[in-house]
Structure 1
Amino acid sequence: MKTSLVNTVWHSEKRKNLLLLLSEGERDLEQIKKSLNVTTRSIMPQIKTLKNQNLIAQEHENFSLTSIGNIIAKNMLPFLETSRIVEENKDFWASRNFDAIPQHLFSRIKDLGHYFLIEPDINHMFELPREFVDNIPKSESIITFISYLHPMFLSLYLKAAESGSDISLFVSEAVLKKMKKEYFEQFSDLTKMKNATIFLCKENPKIPMITMTNWFCYICLFNEEERYDHRDVISFDDSSLKWCDELFDYYRTNSEELCQITDFE
């Protein structure tokens, strides 16, 4: 009985890795052995299997993907990257609420790349995370959406604006009211800064905060109970910045820029 392509590809780590390697370009046997850290004896049966399934071809000493092999390898990569994202912190991702992420971006969660999960020490649970506080002042541009206002948030962003950072701040209606009521002086100072723009989201996405700067993104998600448990994700990969930029484009279509001081009253 002929082995299925699914079994051929996924039931062997060596075959899977060989397909991914050849998706980068043709290789000879010595290059394959060195890249995959395998022996001739262990890899040749896998090469034979992939050749029999018409997934790789051989010309003289070089091996390359066939058209079918190329299609399969390219479609393997998104699945493997998504699996890696989830597998690294399975409990975290399984307990998140993703209602604020549009489907076309949720399906590309792999674009977060090599991220770090920030889990606060119990003694610092209600402080702004050090990873966030340390990196904001280093940023030339900052785009943030918040529906959860930390007491230190405005002072941090006001300081960044005074240092020359370009700031776009998207806020929920509840946060806007809280800023005006409890932090009016800092809020008023921020609105007067020429390099700071504030947007009001007409509908409140179910997300505590998401921030994108010119060099990192910081994502806070509610858990399944729609509570913020202070477990956050930070990524410095270019793909994560592009992902966040598209997310803010999505939010921007449902937001209104508050241009004048009267808009805030």
Structure 2
Amino acid sequence: MKSSLTDNVWLSEKRTNLLLLLMEGPRDIEQIKMSLNVTSRGMMPQIKKLKEKHLIIEDGDYYKLSNIGELIVKNMLPLINTLSMISDNRNYWEEHDITILPPHLFKRLHELGNYLLLEPDLHHTFEIPKEFTENLLKSKEIKSIISFYRPEYPKFYSELAEKANSLTLILSEAAFKRMKNNCMKELEYLLSAKNSRVLVYKGKARPPAIDVSEWFMYISFFNKNGSYDHNDIMSFDESALQWGSELFDHYCEQSVEIKDVDQVEVEL
């Protein structure tokens, strides 16, 4: 029975890994052996099968993807990256509500890349994670969404407004009301600072908390019962920064900019 392209791509880990390797560029057999930790005897039959299906071609001493091979591998990568992302922290992704994401970014969630899952220290559960504060304080261009209120936030984001070149801050209606009632001084500073913009989110569904700068991205999804459990995602990958910026822009379009505290009536 003839094997299908699907069989040739997926039913051999060696073939899959070789295709992914060749996506980075042509390789000779010695480079393939070293990169994939295989022997010539183990790899040559797999190369032969991929050549027979016209997925790779031989160019002198080098093997490279054919046009068909390149097309297939480019479409494989999102699925492989998504599977890898989920398998690393399966319980987290099962327990948190990611359906809140807009469809075009939901299907690109794998762009978080080599992310870190930050779990709370039992002795410091209710403190702002230092990974969050330290990286934001080093940032110059900051876009943030505050979806849940912490007493430390008004002072911390005021400090960011002082240090950063640009701070765009979206507040949920509940967070805006808490700041207006409890921290008017900090709220007025954020509204008056030359390098900051403050918006109130007016969309229907509560967005995740997001912070994106020129060099890192931090996001907090709510769990499926709508509460925050202090498990956060952080990534420094370029793809994650782009993904996070697009997500921020999506919610920014559903928000209203505020110039002073009495400009809008917040309905809760």
TM-score band by shorter chain is over 0.9
- Answer whether contact 2:201 2:254 (CA < 8 A) is retained: yes
Q: CA deviation at 1:123?
A: 1.9
Inter-partner Cα distance in structure 2 for 1:60 and 1:164: 54
Q: CA deviation at 1:259?
A: 2.3
Q: How does 1:160-239 map to 2 (within 5 A)?
A: 160-239=160-239
Inter-partner Cα distance in structure 1 for 2:122 and 2:179: 27
Counterpart residue type for residue 199 of structure 1: L
**Aligned-residue CA RMSD (Å):** 1.6
Inter-partner Cα distance in structure 1 for 2:125 and 2:168: 27
Counterpart residue type for residue 85 of structure 2: I
Residues 29-38 or 10-19, more deviating: 29-38
Inter-partner Cα distance in structure 1 for 2:100 and 2:199: 17
Inter-partner Cα distance in structure 2 for 1:164 and 1:45: 57
Residues 213-222 or 157-166, more deviating: 157-166
Pairs aligned (count): 265
Inter-partner Cα distance in structure 1 for 2:238 and 2:146: 22
- Answer whether contact 1:172 1:203 (CA < 8 A) is retained: no
- Answer whether contact 1:105 1:247 (CA < 8 A) is retained: yes
Counterpart residue type for residue 169 of structure 1: L
Distance 1:224 1:159, change over 3 A: same
Inter-partner Cα distance in structure 2 for 1:100 and 1:141: 25
- TM-score normalised by structure 1 residue count: 0.94
- Answer whether contact 1:208 1:221 (CA < 8 A) is retained: yes
1:149 matched to which residue of 2? 149
Q: CA deviation at 1:35?
A: 2.2
Inter-partner Cα distance in structure 2 for 1:62 and 1:147: 53
Q: CA deviation at 1:239?
A: 0.9
Distance 1:80 1:241, change over 3 A: same
1:107 matched to which residue of 2? 107
1:24 matched to which residue of 2? 24
Percent identity reads 44
Inter-partner Cα distance in structure 1 for 2:164 and 2:23: 44
Q: CA deviation at 1:75?
A: 1.2
Provide the secondary structure at the position in 1 that maps to 2:233. Answer: strand
- Answer whether contact 2:140 2:163 (CA < 8 A) is retained: no
Counterpart residue type for residue 34 of structure 1: M
Distance 1:132 1:29, change over 3 A: same
Provide the secondary structure at the position in 2 that maps to 1:263. Answer: coil
Q: How does 1:1-265 map to 2 (within 5 A)?
A: 1-263=1-263
Residue-by-residue CA offset, 1:55-109 (whole Å, 9 max, x unaligned): 1222443322222212111111111111111111010011111243101001001
What are structure 1's unaligned runs of at least 5 residues?
none
Q: CA deviation at 1:154?
A: 0.9
- Answer whether contact 2:209 2:219 (CA < 8 A) is retained: yes
